Structure 1
Amino acid sequence: MMHSQFDFALAAPEIILLALGLAILLIDVLSKHAQRLVTYWLTLGTLAVLTVVSWAQWQAGVQGVTFHGLYVADNLSHLLKIASYIAVAATVIYGHAYALERDMLRSGELYTLILFALLGQMVMISASNLVSIYLGLELMSLSLYALIALRRDNTVATEAAMKYFVLGALASGFLLYGMSMIYGATGQLELAAIAQVLASGEAPAMALAFGVVFVVAGLAFKLGAAPFHMWVPDVYQGSPTGITLVLGGAPKLAAFAITLRLLTDGLHSLAFDWQPMLMILAVLSLAIGNLTAIMQTNFKRMLAYSTISHMGFVLLGLLSGVIDGKPDAAVGAYGASLFYILTYVLTTLGSFGMILLLARNGFECEEISDLKGLNRKHPWYAAILLLLMFSLAGIPPLVGFYAKLAVLQAVVEAGMVWLAVVAVIFSLIGAFYYLRVVKVVYFDEPEEQGLQAQEQAVALAVTPLCQRGLISLNGILLLVFGILPGGLMALCIQALQ
């Protein structure tokens, strides 16, 4: 890896996004168009440009560390950035009609804030220093707080924003405190330098143990793992659905990136300290997520608890990478974890995208009972919802099954068979609430035949073609990656080597 002090070419995606984001902000101020179509298309254009740039960098083998070790470009960062662009583009397309009807585009900062949140995520993905990790995290978090509170007249959304802001500030404090302890013990901010100091065994063990506890707590909050999950259901349910999708998609990839870099690049020598912590977080997330989701009647809240349980699986992959210090197993386990989070984000985009498609002005499709009889009116949408739920439940031949299998394989190879058994048991419990949604869609009679059926029929008649095409593609991809997972898995492994 080359190491230069100021190599701006390495950070080309971030620089381009910052420039285009500011340009879109200015254009939006001058735009008199109520639907903000110019901003909408410019945002999608920006994401397309970024995808091309990152893909070109990846294909050209662009790698290196720059800005005095604050920033790293490698295969992992290229892969996660491209995945983030695609997730954000899908979010923007799904949410456009929803935002338009709820008058969220009037002031126009919706798309600019989404782009700045993405910029924060990209900084997190490429951070190789404690300072840049924190900078990226705060840029992303502040944009998300503003997005959730964008509908100022909506008390529920404002309350969700307040909860997220207060708990987010607390988690940032945890993370920052943990980082300061690690800095105090090692005298280094760069992850590679921290790893060297730890390997030499000269750092004080007590301060490091404290630092690791606080860092893991802060990371668990950002991932939404139990017992730091209190904000997830409230914020997912309270936010406007379009914004819930912004929260549930790309930020998970960035949180995964900083977790992987902090624990494996910087604190690998302390694996005996953080591995048991991740184990507790994983088991708690699987238990609390799956058991609480059973009792939910609100679809968004159910998906929020399902997110918590899925983060348990991601953590299982991360903790399985350390077996007596052998790195070979690590690549396989981290690869399984990366594959899991990528496919989870793909499924989440589809699940919330479906809620956005069915929601119309005056009708938020948020309760599970709102889906009754969907199959009678729209068999194709019902089929896609079936694929989404089956994938989340881990039923073959969908990608969710393969993702779970890959993680469980890594856990077993790490010699923790009991942990794999626990994960399987909770997954079986989790299958119940996904199958309940399918039952409602296919076997329940629609409520108040008239009003709601008309609402939904009208809703789907006027849904823009690009949204309908995207949700169809989303459902089909779950099947394709489930039957042919090799390509994506190979990319994940390649990104980590």
Structure 2
Amino acid sequence: MNLLATANFTAPTIEWASLTPIIIVLGAAVLGVLIEAFAPARSRRGAGIFLGILAPLAAFVVLVMRWFTVVDTPSSLGEYVEDPLTIATQAILVLVTFVAILVMADRTRVGDGAFAGQPSDRPGSSDEETSDAHGYQRSEMFPLTLFSLGGMMIFPAADSFITLFVALEVMSLPLYILAATARRRRQLSHEAALKYFLLGAFASAFLLMGSALLYGFSRSLKISALASAIPTALGMDWLAVVGVFMVMVGLLFKVGAAPFHAWTPDVYTGAPTPVTGFMAAAVKIAAFAAMLRFYQVVAAILQWDLLPVFAVIALATMAVGTFVGLVQKDVKRMLAYSSIAHAGFILIGVFSVVPGSAGHVLFYVLAYGVATVGAFGVISLVRSTDAEGYIGGEATSLERWAGLGKNHPVIAGSMLVFLLSFAGIPLTAGFIGKFVVFSDGFAGGLGWLVAFALLSSAITAFYYFRLVRLLFFTEPSESAVVVRSEGTGAFAIVACAVVTIILGVFPGPVLSLLAQVGILLP
């Protein structure tokens, strides 16, 4: 006690204002778990949806207020960097999560949603039949989504390999669980979750091993300290090169870049469709933002050694997403390979390292994220039907989408907007995103990679327009219908379509804001 009384302790300074958005999201997630555990069964779902919608909106309001302070005076809070890249990424993440939760919350007129009533029930068992008969629906997907969002918000702000790894796991572990909660095709959903978990652990091992090598190289766990150590190293460059490459492998896995993409088609297909939309959009946003910071602060110093390898990875990613996507007959798998191709396009902006490229990458992932959540929201409403009018599971086979545009013009028209944006057609957000990122690629000396990206983009347009032809220029199929629902999913779909058009027609204000995105260098 005497030692404690005489010791001099310095109280840590905690910048609560900087951490408030993350505290709001994680606090709502914890509260959601308590509601799921203790609240009456009838009130759990409504309370979970309320928290899931309120928390991202409240965090967005705080982030808007923080933006004006951080643009003028970015700061580093130990292992957490609060700069324009962090604030802009977090704002995009909470907005995308808001519309994704609206899609998750939606249920059809017969009361079924995308999630199993009791995910722990064995598929086809009497327990599952009992849960369905009583209309039982657990709602843990909402706090799990918020926990994942909290990890995503920390991920691009990390200035320490420990923080980077912890954020990666907080982001990923809830997604492994969510991927296993599909209402139908449960065994496929469980298989998807298992694949995602195993390959995710493999990628985490790469990131940890790379971090260990870089710690041995710089004798520091801080990313900014590593950037300062590389130029002064003598005879140890190989250790830095190997370590940086291994960390990048962990990040490339999360964005679905080839040859680390093997999990993407199976997980996108097996996971509940609203989770697929959230995963495809938000994980890419967070991972590309973290990659921007790590690459521009550290890896770009070694680009003479690493850029050829990374350029080949970008090339392979575009090739796999383009040519394998051409032969897909399932709409979810088609969009999975589309996401791989888009990852290759975005990598061009990451590797260009020119002024303004960080903001342009964020615009691209914003455009892609909004269109992706909307597209998977549409898929969740397109259901199979039989001759007696019984509504079944999602009709993901492309042939079943024939003629939906004639009977359901609003939903099919929204899907048309998303497909046009994916293809990079003018007057959509996707066109602006590709234009600014490819322009950065030319400015950064990656013209040959941009040329291949333009060719790939033209080829991918084929499988987007194949679906457009089925929607609007084919006789209606009797085996699929767009179901009426509670309305939150339809609202999210239409909102995403409107935002996609606005960003394509009037991109100036958003591009001007994102032009202020800079990365705090050591």
Counterpart check, 1:189 vs 2:221: yes
How far, CA to CA, are the matches of 2:199 and 2:174 in structure 1? 15
Residue in 2 aligned with 1:45? 54
Residue in 2 aligned with 1:273? 305
SS in 2 for 1:362: strand
Change (3 A) 1:151 1:304: closer
SS in 2 for 1:36: helix
Segment of structure 1 superposing worse, 354-363 or 306-315: 354-363
Residue in 1 aligned with 2:75? 64
How far, CA to CA, are the matches of 1:75 and 1:414 in structure 2? 22
Counterpart check, 1:248 vs 2:259: no
Q: Which runs of 5+ in 1 are unaligned?
A: 322-329
SS in 2 for 1:363: strand
Task: Identify which of 17, 22, 31 aligns with 1:14.
Answer: 22
Task: Identify which of 471, 490, 495 aligns with 2:512.
Answer: 490
Q: Rg bigger for which structure?
A: 2
How far, CA to CA, are the matches of 2:441 and 2:57 in structure 1? 37
How far, CA to CA, are the matches of 1:205 and 1:272 in structure 2? 12
How far, CA to CA, are the matches of 2:271 and 2:192 in structure 1? 6
Q: Which runs of 5+ in 2 are unaligned?
A: 1-11, 118-136, 385-390
Task: Identify which of 111, 126, 136 aligns with 2:157.
Answer: 126
Segment of structure 1 superposing worse, 158-167 or 55-64: 55-64
Segment of structure 1 superposing worse, 399-408 or 161-170: 399-408
Question: Does the 8 A contact of 1:282 with 1:315 survive in 2?
Answer: yes
Question: Does the 8 A contact of 2:86 with 2:156 survive in 1?
Answer: yes
Question: Does the 8 A contact of 1:177 with 1:214 survive in 2?
Answer: yes
RMSD (CA atoms): 2.0
Counterpart check, 1:445 vs 2:469: no
Question: Does the 8 A contact of 2:36 with 2:44 survive in 1?
Answer: no
How far, CA to CA, are the matches of 1:229 and 1:392 in structure 2? 19
Q: CA deviation at 1:151?
A: 4.4
Amino acid at match of 1:387: V
Q: CA deviation at 1:317?
A: 0.7
Query: Which aligned pairs between 1:298-337 and structure 2 lie closer than 5 A?
Result: 298-321=330-353, 330-337=354-361
Amino acid at match of 2:392: G
TM-score by length of 2: 0.87
Q: CA deviation at 1:373?
A: 0.4
How far, CA to CA, are the matches of 1:302 and 1:406 in structure 2? 25
Amino acid at match of 1:219: L
Q: CA deviation at 1:51?
A: 1.1
Amino acid at match of 1:134: F
Question: Does the 8 A contact of 1:77 with 1:125 survive in 2?
Answer: yes
Q: CA deviation at 1:8?
A: 2.9
Residue in 2 aligned with 1:327? none
Question: Does the 8 A contact of 1:14 with 1:119 survive in 2?
Answer: yes
TM-score by length of 1: 0.91
Counterpart check, 1:95 vs 2:104: yes
Change (3 A) 1:419 1:236: same
Q: CA deviation at 1:228?
A: 0.6
Q: Which runs of 4+ in 1 moved over 6 A?
A: none
Amino acid at match of 1:412: F
Q: CA deviation at 1:35?
A: 6.9
SS in 2 for 1:65: strand
How far, CA to CA, are the matches of 2:304 and 2:89 in structure 1? 27
Question: Does the 8 A contact of 2:209 with 2:246 survive in 1?
Answer: yes
Amino acid at match of 1:339: F
Q: CA deviation at 1:308?
A: 0.3
Q: CA deviation at 1:211?
A: 0.9
Q: CA deviation at 1:201?
A: 3.2
Residue in 2 aligned with 1:324? none
How far, CA to CA, are the matches of 1:365 and 1:50 in structure 2? 36
Counterpart check, 1:214 vs 2:258: no
Please list the CA deviations of residues 211-243 of structure 1 after superposition, one character each: whole Å capped at 9, or x if unmatched. Answer: 122122211111101111000001000111122
Question: Does the 8 A contact of 1:197 with 1:203 survive in 2?
Answer: no
Aligned residues, how many? 476
How far, CA to CA, are the matches of 1:424 and 1:45 in structure 2? 40
How far, CA to CA, are the matches of 2:104 and 2:51 in structure 1? 15
SS in 2 for 1:337: helix
